[in-house]
């Protein structure tokens, strides 16, 4: 609702802050998903290169 309000009232600083929060949450969710995927799937090995 806050982002919609910011768009309707042309409040650019509020819109920028809201989008930064949404982007940070999205990035953290993706990082968490990648880490959990590596933990839950035994076929995935982190930090080891196969030569």
pLDDT confidence of residue 19: 95
| Residue-wise pLDDT tens digits, 1-51 | 889 999 999 999 999 999 999 999 999 999 999 989 888 887 877 666 665
Q: pLDDT at position 44, please?
A: 75
Measured distance CA(18)–CA(36) in Å, rounded: 27
Closest CA to 16 of 7, 25, 28, 26: 7
Where in the chain are the domains? 2-40
Q: What is the pTM of this model?
A: 0.68
């Amino acid at each position: 609702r806050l982002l919609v309000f910011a768009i309707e009232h042309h409040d650019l600083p509020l819109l920028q802050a809201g989008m930064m929060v949404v982007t940070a949450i999205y990035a953290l969710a993706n990082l968490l998903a990648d880490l959990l995927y590596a933990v839950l799937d035994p076929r995935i090995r982190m930090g080891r290169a196969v030569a």
